[in-house]
Amino acid sequence: MATIINIPEAKAIQVNNLEFTYNGAPEPSLIDITMPIAKNSVTALIGPSGCGKTTLLRAFNRMHDLYPGHTYNKGEILFEGRNIIDPKEDLINLRIKIGMIFQKPTAFPMSIFDNVAYGLRLQGTKNKTELNDRVEKALKDAAIWKETADRLKDDANGLSGGQQQRLCIARAIAVEPDVLLFDEPTSALDPISTQGIERLVTELKEKMTIIIVTHNMQQAARVSDYTGFMYLGELIELGKTEEMFVTPKERLTNEYITGKFG
């Protein structure tokens, strides 16, 4: 069936036979997904709209649980040696460890500083110097320190779209997550801002594991080490990015990356 290559690196996450159904939907949206996620690397999820790539991404930090009725029918997602789709999983601590960046910039209605400090404050960091240091470091790591250093007290909504998205990345990495999920992070951005975000993604993998959903195959090719191709809720193929885009093993993958559908 599916072609899943073995990965030599350590695994940050291992998905086994995952099946997921949206509230009231007649068919599951994820079918029997088995997939390793390599540590300190970038894994891209591609596929036509409705293939389940975002659904899978949102399972990693249990975003689906915000809305009632969605069900993980079977399977498991192993992270730090435990199954995180277990109903007893502590979602707050899970989400602190697995961060997320969304399709659109989501600056909170507060200052630039407070945005980045938000996650830290939630965890109880109150010390002024520590907050300042960690906010500065996060902004630097997200390559937006230069533009914001002298206006940290300004409303974050005054930033441009690309700046806001990098601010959101700073906010997410300030709490030093182990895994960072990107859900089509550049779909609302111009080409220049997109370039900036892509560069950031490849830099961040030294510190964390990255999973990125993208509708843009070139983007997947540019930023990722591994690529998973999904179709109709199934993972069709997972391979090393450079190999998969040149010599896909599956006929469907080949048709998709050569633009025959999707």
Partner 1 sequence: MTMLFDKIFAHSTRIIAITVLLVVAAIFTILFQESLLSIQSNGFAFLSDTKWAPNLEKFGALPSIMGSIISTFLAMILAIPVAIGVAIFLSEIAYERLKAPIGISIELLAAIPSVVYGMWGLFYFVPIVRDIFGGMGIGMLTAGIVLSIMILPFMAAVTRDAMNTTPDILKESAYALGATKWNVVKDVIIPYAKAGIIGSLILALGRAIGETMAVTFVMGNVHKISMDITQPATSIPVTLANEFTEADSDLYYSSLFELALILLVISFVIIAVAKSYFLRRTRRTS
Partner 2 sequence: MTETQKRVLISKIVMVLSTLSALIGLAFLFWILYVLVTNGIDAINWDIFLYEGAPPGYAESGLKQALIGQLILVGVASLIGVPLGVLGGTYLSEYGQRSRLAETIRDISDIMMSAPSIVIGAFVYAVVVTPMGHFSGWAGVIALTIIMVPIILRTTDDMLHLVPGTLREAAFALGAPKYKVIIQVVYRGAKAGVLTGILLGVARVGGETAPLLFTSFNDNFMSTDLMEPMASLTVTMFNYATSPYEDWQQLGWAAAFILSMFILALNIIGRLIIMKKGK
Residues lying near partner 2 in the complex (CB under 8 A): 92-93, 96, 122-124
Cβ neighbours, 10 Å, residue 114: 18
* Cα of 36 vs its chain's centroid, Å: 15
Largest CA distance in the chain: 57
- Binding partner at 261 among partner 1, partner 2, none, C-beta below 5 to 8 Å by kind: none
Q: Give the nearest distance from C-beta 251 to partner 1 in angstroms.
A: 36
Place of tokens 């199954």: 83
- Per the listing, tokens 């500065």 go with 136
Nearest approach, Cβ of residue 135 and partner 2 (Å) = 18
- From the list partner 2, partner 1, none, partner contacted by residue 68 (C-beta under 5 to 8 A by kind): partner 1
Nearer to partner 2, 97 or 215 (CB): 97
Number of neighbouring beta carbons within 10 Å of residue 122:
11
Structure tokens, 8: 């030599």
Q: Taking the complex as a whole, how short is the minimal distance between the CB of residue 213 and partner 1, in angstroms?
A: 14
**Closest separation between CB of residue 163 and partner 2, Å?**
29
Choice between 75 and 99, CB closer to partner 1: 99
**253 token code pair:** 């993958």
Residue 36 interacting partner from partner 2, partner 1, none (CB closer than 5 to 8 Å by kind): none
d(CA 40, CA 7): 12
Residues that bind partner 1 (CB under 8 A): 61, 63, 66-69, 92-93, 95-96, 99-100, 102-104, 106, 108-110, 118-119, 122-123, 168, 171-172, 175
Which of 63, 208 has the CB closer to partner 1?
A: 63
Residue 123 Cβ vs partner 2, minimum distance, rounded to whole Å: 6
158: partner contacted, choices partner 2, partner 1, none (Cβ within 5-8 A by kind): none
Which lies closer to partner 2 via its Cβ, residue 124 or residue 191? 124
Residue 132 contacts which entry, partner 2, partner 1, none (Cβ below 5-8 A, type-dependent): none
Given partner 2, partner 1, none, residue 73, with its beta carbon under 5 to 8 Å by kind, binds: none
> Which residues have C-beta within 8 Å of that of residue 36, sequence separation ≥ 6?
4, 7, 11, 13, 14, 15, 238
**223 closest CA partner among 199, 244, 204:** 199
How far apart are CB 136 and partner 2 at their closest, in Å? 22
For residue 83, the cross-strand partners are 78
Which residue blocks in the chain are alpha helix, DSSP H? 53-60, 91-97, 112-122, 128-141, 145-148, 161-174, 191-204, 217-223, 241-244, 251-257
Question: Toward partner 2, which CB reaches closer, 127 or 258?
Answer: 127
